[in-house]
Amino acid sequence: MSDSPIVPVQAAPSIRLTTMAHGGGCASKIPPGELEEVVSALSGQQYDSVIVGLEDGDDAAAVRIADGTAVLSTADFFTPVVDDPFDWGRIAAANALSDIYAMGGDPVVAINLVGWPRGVLPYEVLREVLAGGLAIAKEAGVPVIGGHSVDDPEPKYGMAVTGTADPDRLLRNDAATAGLPITLTKPLGVGLLNNRMKSTGEVSAAAIATMTALNRDAAKAALAAGIRAATDVTGFGLLGHLFKMGRASGVGAIIDRSAVPLIDGAADALRDGFVSGGTRRNLDWVRQDVRAGAGITEDDLLLLADAQTSGGLLVIGEVPGYPIIGETVAGSGIDVR
């Protein structure tokens, strides 16, 4: 008899969660242009304690509570991006925690946010979702204490996360300066692969591994390198988040398309047309500020606008061990070469 370990084969989920929502993951966000118009009604608030507020659409709010301490606050939830409930919980938790890491902070506590079709999906499935979220929170060393739930026709899950940071060492999206390299800490293509999974049921292990990976180590490496400007790449795609950062900081950017890393299978999913509506809306939003160089195709731009879920950090500056995909320049807009 062989001494090789027996690896259990995971059965396909009996309930395809991705079929129960009109969109999946961060691709289901309200389009960026529409969202900015809505939240403009909240602008103009004046509090001395607020370090980072609504003005530039940063990843989390930052409020000074004492000398040397800032509290970071964020919330993120979305509809199913995969069919396995445990993996969905893991992905949603990693995505919510990412906002704290993207600001250079340490998450301290999380609470669950749940919308659940209680007459349609059994609570056993919800328990698996919550268990997945808890598994990632434990990996991050963050207690999950309580939360809020509503009866909802579409299943939704995420977390509100509170963290702390040094107010003088925040990673911000309005602190980019010209003449610095641009680093991306996770490959692109999650949106394409998720859309393929939703359409065909074909699971991408590479996409799940990327989405469940914490941005903690990348954030710590950025802080150690003296970086001041960063954001995470989620539903608005690389182009959308880079555009927001450049606009807030008053700089332009050049992206080397060939240097942008891709998840295994993403190029095939693009070729086969698995482009989400959220990705197309992202590109429409930034198109007038993007200049495509010779040889850059519409598919190249769609890839760079691909709506990511739990994507990596977009860092202005060199972070050892992660790929450089371009540089910041004086001016405005984004050149893709």
Active site residues: 26
Of 298, 295, 203, 221, the closest CA to residue 258 belongs to 295
- What is the Cα–Cα distance from 1 to 181, expressed in whole angstroms? 56
Taking the chain, what is the end-to-end CA distance rounded to the nearest angstrom?
57
Q: How many other CB atoms are there within 10 angstroms of residue 81's CB atom?
A: 31
* Residue 67 host element (H or E): none
β-pair partners for 69: 66
Sheet-wide strand order for 50-52: 50-52, 61-66, 69-78, 156-165, 106-116, 144-151
Do the bridges between strand 144-151 and strand 106-116 make them parallel or antiparallel, or are there none, so unpaired? parallel
Tokens representing residue 76 in the block: 């993120």
CB-based contact 212:89 (threshold 8 Å): no
Query: Residue 16 burial (CB < 10 Å; 0-12/13-18/19+)?
Result: middle
Query: Residue 46 burial (CB < 10 Å; 0-12/13-18/19+)?
Result: exposed
